[in-house]
Structure 1
Amino acid sequence: MTLLVSGLLLGTSTVLADNRDPLEPVNRVIFSINNGVDRVLVRPVARTYHWVIPDPMEQGVRNVFANLGEVRNASNNLLQGKWRRTGAATGRFAINTTVGLVGVFDVASRMGIEPVPEDFGQTLGYWGLGHGFYLVLPILGPSSLRDGTGRVVDQWQNPLNYVEMEHWQRGSILVVDGLQTRADLLASDGLFSGDTYPVIREAYFSMREFQVNDGEVKSDAFIDEDSAEEGFVDEGFIDESF
């Protein structure tokens, strides 16, 4: 979540037209629908959820879903040849699933084993595949051709897919995950006004560059030289924003 907000702040100084968004008219329609659904339904429910659920319980929910993601983290670190990070993700999953009571408690972090998030979109980026064109997915929001494909692969790695349960139970779990994610973003509501579409687009690309490069972002990775010369970019701001 911190990365997303940081990316949004960065995006305000890099709102540039480029050829990464050939589907902009369609993307804007989906973006508008997503915002409408969020304003009318998702945000009010997330606010109620945040108000009703005690903070320790919210943290437990975050921990459980983060623990499920460790399987994805481990496999993608492995695909990138990051052996220590693979071991860390594997260890976190083993420790938090057992000692941490199915991930409710993040025991691994208390032991000094920090999370090492990776997804298949990052793996493809690590091996040199570019973003492809920008996509706004229904409900899910900002993505790209590369990362949208990666989402499909990552979904296969969710341990819940291999647990027998009723459809309503699986759906309820997805709703809780979504509500917690939206509740965590409530603090950033109203941070920007006006046409936020290009800001979010640029923020998404810069955030993904940050993640693919494990925290090392070069300004020329997503901004052309002409734009930098015209004063759109403050390189010091880029370096310090994360």
Structure 2
Amino acid sequence: MSKLFLLLITLLFNPFLIAENDPFEEINRVTLKVNKTLDKAVATPVASFYKKITPDIVELGIYNSISNIDDISVSLNNILQGKFKEGFSDIARFTINSTLGLAGIIDIATKMGFDKHDEDFGQTLAVWGVPHGPYIMLPGLGPSSLRDTVAMIPDAFLSPSILIEHEPTIYSLKFLDLIDTRARYLGLESITIGDEYLFIKDAYYQNREYESSDGEVEDDFDNFDDF
């Protein structure tokens, strides 16, 4: 059954595997411009204000809490990828930080040897052999691929926040997560080289390849070993 599922998923993505994997480039470029406008008008000012008024220790506590919630999804994806040691380590990490770490505000688990991992269902699909499909620039969210966009659905159901029935709390957590993430990337816009659209796309694919292979990415420099 699992092999049939993987076959169907692969067949779904394969028609889009053209040379540059970007059949939606025209609309993607328009979406990028819209995202930049929204970022300049809303996200950057709010993130800058958040960064200015929030003490570093409070900002770290907020980041730790959000990261702690994420560990449940990370653990399940590690297990789905067959990395059981990492998966059970993530569960232990979540348990320790949720209790001794005061709901994850303090990261005690790392000091105890339970390192933070970064996994999502998009990476799980990659490990299962599902190709990334075409590049997609999501409105308000940024770069993605067809595979990673579809993977957002199970990731949402794997998050403990789905158990929260109070909608204002859910939206507040998501908003805080977005602002905290944007605040940590303030100033990175200046590193863009050449065509911004192509730069972002290449950076996205390279980063996802790095994450999916747990940092074990083959480079082209091996071809020069004999010279």
For this structure pair, what is the TM-score category when the shorter chain's length is used for normalisation?
0.7 to 0.9
Pairwise CA distance, 1:194: 5.2
Q: Name the structure, 1 or 2, with higher relative contact order (CA <8 Å, separation 6+).
A: 1
Pairwise CA distance, 1:188: 1.4
Residue 143 of structure 1 aligns to a residue whose secondary structure is strand
Letter in 2 for 1:181: T
Structure 1 Cα separation of the partners of residues 195 and 40 of structure 2? 16
Q: How many aligned residue pairs are there?
A: 205
Q: Which residue of 1 aligns with 2:94?
A: 93
| TM-score, L = length of structure 2 | 0.86
* Runs of 4+ off more than 4 Å: none
Identity of aligned residues (%): 39
Q: Which residue of 2 aligns with 1:7?
A: none
Q: Which residue of 2 aligns with 1:142?
A: 143
Indicate conservation of the 8 Å contact 2:164/2:170, yes or no: no
Residue 190 of structure 1 aligns to a residue whose secondary structure is helix
Matches within 5 A, 1:65-214: 65-165=66-166, 167-192=167-192, 195-214=195-214
Backbone CA RMSD of aligned residues: 1.5
Letter in 1 for 2:213: N
Pairwise CA distance, 1:218: 1.5
Unaligned 5+ runs, structure 2: 1-17, 223-227
Residue 117 of structure 1 aligns to a residue whose secondary structure is coil
Indicate conservation of the 8 Å contact 2:131/2:147, yes or no: yes
Matches within 5 A, 1:22-101: 22-101=23-102
Residue 107 of structure 1 aligns to a residue whose secondary structure is coil
**What is the CA deviation profile of residues 63-107 of structure 1, one whole-angstrom value per residue up to 9, with x for unaligned ones?**
011111111111001001111101111111111111111111111
Q: Which residue of 2 aligns with 1:219?
A: 219
Indicate conservation of the 8 Å contact 1:88/1:116, yes or no: no
Structure 1 Cα separation of the partners of residues 47 and 117 of structure 2? 27
